[in-house]
A and B are shown apart, each in its own frame.
Chain A
């Protein structure tokens, strides 16, 4: 089946630093990728939709200057949390929307747990 990876799986950083999270579709091309965040004991909340070669579309309330998304290729999207603060600590999950025969669903990565000290 289709596989999506995320790197790193967890990261701890100091307040004020930037953290980059990678999302890769390993065996298929993903024209669209989605970024979610999940706070403890809460549901997944969509942050942004990322289309290859164009600017990401952010959900209301998500600061695009803080959460930089780059979808440079059909297999890679990155989320950079700039000037991270403790309130940015969360579980970040990406998903990739397949094309062709995989176009009917999204495939989720294993998530990245970010802790900002």
Chain B
């Protein structure tokens, strides 16, 4: 079963529009971490945010904001006033505590294209 689901495969928006990328996760652990990464065409993963399971406060960082809702097991990511430089693939990931280290489970990614 997929532990992290990103239902949106591809999204296109016009520059300056807001866009929300959805992420739904599944875990039985009470302690876990959720992440969002950006992967531009160069391939290198760019860390955006980490959220632990005990902190449901929403976070805003510039044009980025995240909505963590344990009740719906969702960790959605919103980009406000999108820009062409936001075009990339975005991955949501879940980290559960394992005895050998925290194993990451990645979603399938959402490819965002911002059209000028």
Contacts and interface: CB of A to CB of B under 8 A. Distances in A.
State yes or no: do A and B come from one complex: yes
Contacts, number: 55
Interface stretch (A42-50, A62-70, A77-85): A42-50
Given A42-B108, A108-B45, A110-B43, A97 B101 contact: yes
B104 A43 contact: no
A46 B104 contact: yes
Nearest to A57: B100
B100 A111 contact: no
B95 interface: yes
B22 to A, nearest CB: 15
Contacts of B33: 104-105
Nearest to B97: A104
A93 B108 contact: no
Contacts of A28: none
Contact of B91 (A43, A91, A95, A110): A43
Given A110-B44, A111-B44, A105 B95 contact: yes
Q: Which range contains the number of B residues in contact with the other chain?
A: 20 to 34
B108 A32 contact: no
A51 B100 contact: yes
A43 B108 contact: yes
Contact of A93 (B45, B52, B103, B109): B45
Interface string B93-107: 001000011111011
Contact of A95 (B104, B108, B109): B104
Contact of A34 (B47, B52, B104, B107): B104
B70 interface: no
B63 interface: no
A15 to B, nearest CB: 23
Interface of B: 33, 35, 37, 43-45, 47, 50, 52, 91, 95, 100-104, 106-109, 111
Interface of A: 31-32, 34, 38, 41-44, 46, 49, 51, 57, 91, 93, 95, 97, 104-106, 108, 110-111, 113
